[in-house]
Amino acid sequence: MSNGFIDSLPPELINAILEKVPISDHQATVWSLMKANPRLPIRLSHLFQSIRITQPQQAILLYQHLRRHGPFQIDTNSDAEPHPISWIQDVLVECWTVDADVIINLLRLLPRLRTLSIWIGAHNFSPEHLEELFEKSIHGLLSLSIRFRPYVQRANYYQFLKGAYFDSLLFALAKWPAEDCCPVLSLVQDKFPEASQTFAQPIVFFRLDTCLSAFLHSGGWSSSLTAFQLRLPSRPVIRSMCGTPMAAGTGSFQTNLAPPNLEFLDLSTCAVLDSEIDTVLAHFSNMKHLILDGCPILRGDLREGDWNSLGKRCALVGSKRAKEREKMLKAWTEARSQAVQSAGLQNNQIRPQKQKRGRKGLATSTLSLRKPRSEPSYSLPPGTLTSQHAPDPELAAKVRVIPGPPTLKSLSFTISGSVQPEKLDAVRSEFEAGWAEGIAVLGVTRARLRTSAFNGHIRAMRITLIGAEESEQWDDGLDGLEDVDPEDESFLGKVDDGSNPLLAMLDAPVLCFAGYDEGHMHSKHCGHLVAERLMGAQPI
């Protein structure tokens, strides 16, 4: 393409093309075009739109340049001179030795950030720096990425002795309001050095059961987060993500029992087992893409039927979720009944015996060193204070949760070395066969429940995405559930043959074994391509 042809392009078209350039390549592309053809009508704002810092000195020079232009006012008059601070929308700090204080001061100048990516080295950012940076929410942020490389060449136990872990980062993020929480979040710890070490390397997070659980179930992120990338090498994270949020005791944020409505989840390099895949899918009911590269899944000598079993379990996650919800309702009913009975016993305490008339004996003591007997106490679930009546166990026993259809579109993980590349097609066929079996079982189950509901034997309900704090049925223990019309054939299926048009259209998820940094071809519409679009290519 000649320079004359480029010169003939209208400025609107050139700027529209530059808007499509990836964030990581945007600044270099604009600078190269300006040097190759200075006469191109490229807006100067493109040079500042996406800032990529790869050297420590670049951050200092940029900060000094922006400070020379003075403070930026969002309501500046349109006739005033353009301000470079207003042009910056994306900041990528890709340097392990950049000064943390300079970055904090630089980011505080930028009011219109939409993408932020920071690399945290072993000696530049401390937990206090990140806590200070994210103490206040960043309004308008769409994507946040933090990459950690805390490894050292020589043994240094300073982090262990001081307790310098980044748990406070998650607690600081958990305090953000819902309107400022971004939909895309990436927390990545690089893999451990390949060279053999004779000492333990530092870790990023210490108490995952507390900080990660509290973060995911915080009110803001549980309603905003849709894509989450969490890579913590060899760390078990499923219990922290899918369990009940534990009391942190270190923040004033509000927790929400409803998990985030995640559609994309990347847990590569974490200690995730194949038996925990359906647990993740059952907990996050709207999951579409799950990436588990580098996890210990289906490794070693595989037995016949392992891939078939995995496909069937993935198809039946709705049944697993429905059974867990029914168990929660049963446990809630029992706890509520015990709480009401305990309250009744406390209100009807035995009156003290009337003292006998006459002179008391001299040996009778008015004091006692024995501890008074305490009545057993129960933890009342939310809503129990609004009613003093015990729930009807028979009514709760009639509730049946209709299992929902699976939403998974792609499943990606590193395959075992014992599986030859030429056998991948057979692996996919076995997985798809198990998926088809699970869909058939799901259709029969839904049709059977529809028949029982139509005859009045059960109360059919389904799980909704309403959070616990928004539900109006806490007093019945039916929070997050809604009734289903037995005559709704499009949802429950037909009674005669158990077929369901909705289930018939559910294809098996795409299996991809290429990984992020492998030379194999990716499967069409796999999760790696979605991750590259959301977060950029990040090799393991």
Quote the pLDDT of residue 323: 93
pLDDT at 374: 46
Q: Do 238 and 313 reside in the same domain of the chain? A: no
pLDDT value of position 233: 94
> Are both 276 and 396 inside the same structural domain?
no
Give me the pLDDT at residue 11, please: 79
Q: Residues 123-141: pLDDT tens digits?
A: 899 999 999 999 999 999 9
Same domain, 267 and 205: yes
* Residue 173 belongs to a domain: yes
Q: How far apart are CA 453 and CA 44, in angstroms?
A: 66
Q: Is residue 529 part of a domain?
A: no
Same domain, 89 and 224: yes
Residues 459 and 313 both lie in one domain: yes
Same domain for 10 and 55, yes or no, is: yes
Q: What is the pLDDT of residue 139?
A: 94
Residue at which a domain ends, from 248, 283, 318: 283
Q: Are residues 403 and 474 in the same domain?
A: yes
Instruction: Extract the tokens encoding 76.
Output: 């500046």
The pLDDT assigned to 384 comes to 43
Structural domains counted in the chain: 2
Cα–Cα distance between 512 and 529 in angstroms, integer? 11
CB atoms within 10 A of CB 493: 27
How far apart CA 42 and CA 36 sit, in angstroms, is: 12
* Run means of pLDDT, 10 residues per run, the chain, 540 residues: 65 83 85 83 85 95 86 51 82 95 95 95 92 95 95 73 84 94 96 75 90 91 95 94 63 63 95 92 94 84 81 95 90 81 62 54 52 44 49 74 93 79 86 95 91 90 64 65 80 50 76 74 86 74
Q: Is residue 383 part of a domain?
A: no
479-531 confidence digits (pLDDT tens) = 888 888 887 766 655 444 445 556 666 889 999 988 876 556 788 889 998 99
Both 312 and 424 in one domain: the answer is yes
pLDDT at 118: 97
In a domain, 141, yes or no: yes
The pLDDT of residue 73 = 54
Per-residue pLDDT at 149: 93
Residue 244 lies in a domain: yes
Is the same domain home to 330 and 259?
A: no
The whole-number pLDDT of residue 421 equals 75
Q: What pLDDT is stored for residue 54 in this prediction?
A: 94
Q: Structural domain of residue 392, as residue ranges?
A: 308-339+388-508
Contact call for residues 412 and 290 (beta carbons, < 8 A): yes
Same domain, 266 and 331: no
Number of C-beta neighbours around residue 55 at 10 A: 12
Q: Examine residue 532 and state whether it is found in any structural domain, yes or no.
A: no
Strands (E) across 343-500 are located at 399-401, 410-413, 459-463, 481-483
Predicted confidence at residue 375, as pLDDT, reads 42
Note whether residue 501 is domain-resident. Answer: yes
Phi-psi region of 230 (alpha: psi -120 to 50; beta: other; left: phi over 0): beta
- Check residue 358 and give its pLDDT: 53
Using an 8 Å Cβ cutoff, are 246 and 210 in contact?
Answer: yes
SS3 label, residue 215 = helix
Task: Let me know whether 326 and 224 are in one domain.
Answer: no
Question: Do 412 and 462 belong together in one domain?
Answer: yes
Sign of the dihedral through C-alpha 119, 121, 126, 127: positive
48 domain-assigned: yes
